[in-house]
Amino acid sequence: MTGHTEAIITGMVAGLNAAKYAHGDSPIELPSSLAVGDYISYSNREINEGNGLRQRFNFSSGIYFKRMKELDLYSLDKDKILKG
C-alpha cells in the first residue's frame, strides 16, 4: 500500500480497533460499499493471494483507482457526491 491517504485510513482503523480490543469491544469492519472498506478488503485479499506484493494499491492511480471507477466508488459529480 502506498500513499498518505492510504496510510491515514489504515492507521486510523488499526488504532481504533486496537483501542476497542483493549476495552473488550468488537472491532469495526468497514463495508465494501465504501471506498475505504473496499480498499482494505481488496488490497488485503490481493496481497494474501500472492500477486499483491508487486502491485501498488492507492486511491490516486493504479489498479485500485481503476477498481474504484469500475465499482462506481469514485466520482467528480458534485450533485452525486452531495446526495451520497
Question: CB under 8 Å to 83, separation ≥6 — which residues?
Answer: none
What sign results for the dihedral spanned by CA atoms 76, 79, 82, 84? negative
> Which of the pair, 30 or 55, is modelled with greater confidence?
30
Query: On the CB side of 51, how many CA atoms lie within 13 Å of its CA?
Result: 4
Q: What does pTM read for this prediction?
A: 0.79
pLDDT, average across residues 9-29: 96
Q: What are the domain boundaries of the chain?
A: 4-83
What are the grid coordinates assigned to 39, written together? 480498499
pLDDT digits (tens, 9 = 90+) for 36-75: 999 999 988 888 887 777 777 888 888 889 999 999 999 8
